[in-house]
A = this chain, B = another copy of it.
Amino acid sequence: MENSKRITQSNRDEMNMQRIVVLRWGHRVQRDARLTTHVALTARALGASGFLLSDTMDETIRATVEKVTGSWGGEFFFEMGTSWKSSVRDWKTKSGIVVHLTAYGENIQTSNVLDRIRNLEKDVLLIVGSQKVPKEFFSSEVSDFNVSIGNQPHSECAALAVFLDRFFEGKELVKGFGNAKIRIIPQERGKKTIVNR
């Protein structure tokens, strides 16, 4: 918990905003490997500070995420094996708020839920489920907000991406990743990278 502690105690990054840490619940080793890897890489690329793989261990995912961070830079942290209950309790003790992404929650487009989250000016633990989540996730003991990215079934990876993009208002797509060994230079055509080994 060292890293996530550091985050809520706050040393704000260049986006000068609330921090978000993603908690992935319900990961099944092997079966969910690729999807959870996509969720973790989306979290990193779109501005989250770190990723908690809750209630289970998966060295393959840890290795992939740490390899990407090692090559592409930034300070994204990865932790696994802590129960969601103790992560949530710990987060709340440090005055963070908890947001649960679910198709059943308040629609991010038609409600003012995003403004209410922002106005609290607190760091966010963002719960991203996979299989059917425990009923408790919806309760005020766990989640301060239940947020839907549309009210249709789709993908936790897609929901996370839209939430982060809206929360950070696109700033996450231009922020720099320090100590990168490889960097893409965007182009109209072809691929251009700068590699520092």
Contact = CB atoms under 8 A, between A and B. Distances in A.
Interface string A156-197: 011111100110001111100100000111111111100000
Contact of A187 (B38, B68, B106): B106
Contact of A38 (B139, B157, B166): B157
**Closest 9 CB pairs between A and B?**
A158-B161, A38-B155, A45-B154, A109-B173, A45-B152, A151-B184, A42-B158, A150-B173, A104-B191
Contact of A104 (B107, B148, B187): B187
A177 B103 CA distance: 15
Given A46-B158, A107-B173, A173-B108, A189 B139 contact: yes
Interface residues of A, number: 58
A41 interface: yes
Contact of A173 (B110, B146, B185): B110
A153 B191 CA distance: 13
A45 B177 contact: no
Contacts of A177: 152
Q: Quick one: copies of this chain in the complex? A: 2
Contacts of A145: 188
A188 B41 contact: no
Contact of A174 (B107, B138, B173, B184): B107
A70 interface: no
A105 B185 CA distance: 9
29 contacts: A35-B38, A38-B154, A41-B152, A42-B155, A44-B152, A44-B154, A45-B158, A46-B162, A104-B186, A106-B187, A106-B188, A107-B173, A107-B186, A108-B173, A109-B170, A109-B171, A110-B174, A111-B186, A139-B189, A140-B189, A145-B188, A151-B183, A151-B185, A152-B177, A154-B161, A155-B157, A157-B158, A158-B160, A162-B165
